[in-house]
Copies of this chain bind each other. A is one copy, B any other.
Amino acid sequence: MGIGVTPQADDPRAYDVAVGAGWQIGSGVNGGMLMALLGSALRTTFTGDGHPDPLSVTGYFLTAARPGPGVVHTRVLRTGRSMSTGSASLVQLEDGREVERVRALATYGDLAGLPDDVRTTAVPPDLPPPERCLSTADAPPTAMEHAAFLDRVDLRLDPGCVGWAVGTPSGRGVIQGWLRLADPREPDPVLLLLAADALPPVTFDLGLFGWTPTLELTVHVRALPAAGWLRVRHATRNVAGGLLEEDAEVWDAAGRLVAQSRQLARLPRA
Contacts and interface: CB of A to CB of B under 8 A. Distances in A.
Interface string A238-252: 111111010000000
Contact of A257 (B85, B121, B238): B238
A107 interface: yes
A104 to B, nearest CB: 8
Given A121-B237, A222-B238, 7 more contacts: A58-B105, A60-B77, A77-B103, A107-B264, A117-B241, A120-B238, A222-B240
Contacts of A119: 206, 239-240
A241 B264 contact: no
A119 B85 CA distance: 37
Nearest to A235: B121
Given A120-B240, A216-B218, A240-B117, A62 B78 contact: yes
A240 B216 contact: no
A100 B78 contact: yes
Most buried by B among A56, A100, A107, A120: A56
Nearest to A114: B241
Contact of A111 (B107, B223, B241): B241
A241 B216 contact: no
A252 B122 CA distance: 27
B173 A121 contact: yes
A135 B239 CA distance: 33
Contacts of A256: 240
B173 A114 contact: no
Contacts of A122: 237-238
Contacts of A116: 241
A83 interface: yes
Contacts of A107: 60, 215-216, 264
A262 interface: yes
24 contacts: A56-B60, A58-B58, A58-B218, A60-B107, A103-B105, A107-B215, A114-B243, A115-B242, A117-B240, A117-B241, A119-B239, A119-B240, A120-B237, A120-B239, A121-B239, A122-B237, A220-B243, A220-B245, A220-B264, A222-B238, A222-B243, A223-B240, A237-B257, A238-B260
A242 B113 CA distance: 10
Most buried by B among A111, A119, A121: A119
Contacts of A239: 117, 119-121
A86 to B, nearest CB: 9
A223 B242 CA distance: 11
Contacts of A267: 117
